[in-house]
Structure 1
Amino acid sequence: MDARLPAHLEVSGLIRSVEAAGGFGMVLSKGERDAGTIMLVLLENGRDARAYERLPQLDGTRAWHCTRREDPAERLAFSEYVARRGEQDPDLWVVELDVAKPERFIGHGE
């Protein structure tokens, strides 16, 4: 059985960690309090947005994967993607984290 941390606690912890590192975190959309899924919009100085979601792995675990990158020439497409994901999954939390090297907070990078 996968012992998951309730979504609201994980979101709160991520935001606090990012803010403690001098960054900014904000909930853009609240999902289901305990069992909701989470999409992170990671930025550095308000630029280079990346959407990360946990995807199931062959071994039954779930790992963070980049599902979309912002194209500077088509910024609206990224926002539309995030909005569409929220419409598809009403349990989805969308959380923006703006900090240097944000992938480190989800186990990617340094």
Structure 2
Amino acid sequence: MSDRLTSRMLASALIRRAGQEGGFATIVRKGDEVAGTILLICLERGIETGLFERIPDYAGGYRLVPCGPTGSESQTERTQYIERRTKSDPDIWLIELNIPQPERFAAETIC
């Protein structure tokens, strides 16, 4: 068996830790329990700061990278991007994270 944490375990850890730190996280869409890609909708005080994807890096770990439309683009474009991603990869997880410095917080928790 692999020593890698499953996507479900990472999503659960992110939600639990966000709550402990006074923030909020919720699963918008569940993906593959074991190896689904994780996309994060990051918000700070309810204002979207970006969409990030957890990807493997060359050092054998993981990192978060910005993906999709930027915060300055419309909500419709972000929704269309997410729909395209879920259509091409039905195993994808979509998690909304609302906490101070969400990108840093997520990187510390799931990377």
Q: Same fold (TM over 0.5)?
A: yes
> Cα gap change, 1:59/1:101 in structure 2, threshold over 3 Å: closer, same or farther?
closer
Residue 85 of structure 1: aligned partner: 85
Residue 34 of structure 2: aligned partner: 34
- Secondary structure, aligned partner of 2:67: strand
Could you list the runs of 5+ residues in structure 2 that have no partner in the other structure?
A: none
TM-score by length of 1: 0.83
The offset of 1:57, in angstroms, is: 3.0
The offset of 1:48, in angstroms, is: 2.4
Please, which moves more after superposition, 16-25 or 50-59? 50-59
Residue 19 of structure 1: aligned partner: 19
Deviation by residue 1:24-70 (Cα, 9 ceiling, x = unmatched)? 11101000111111111111122124111123434454321111322
Q: Percent identity over the alignment?
A: 34
Residue 104 of structure 2: aligned partner: 104
Which residue type is aligned with residue 70 of structure 1? G
Please, which moves more after superposition, 51-60 or 27-36? 51-60
Alignment check: 8 A CA contact 2:41 2:48 kept: no
Matched residue count: 106
The two structures, once aligned, show a CA RMSD in angstroms of: 1.9
Could you list the runs of 5+ residues in structure 1 that have no partner in the other structure?
A: none
Which residue type is aligned with residue 87 of structure 1? K
Alignment check: 8 A CA contact 2:56 2:62 kept: yes
Please, which moves more after superposition, 19-28 or 74-83? 74-83
Cα distance in structure 2, aligned partners of 1:17 and 1:29: 19
Cα distance in structure 1, aligned partners of 2:104 and 2:60: 23
Which residue type is aligned with residue 4 of structure 2? R
TM-score by length of 2: 0.82
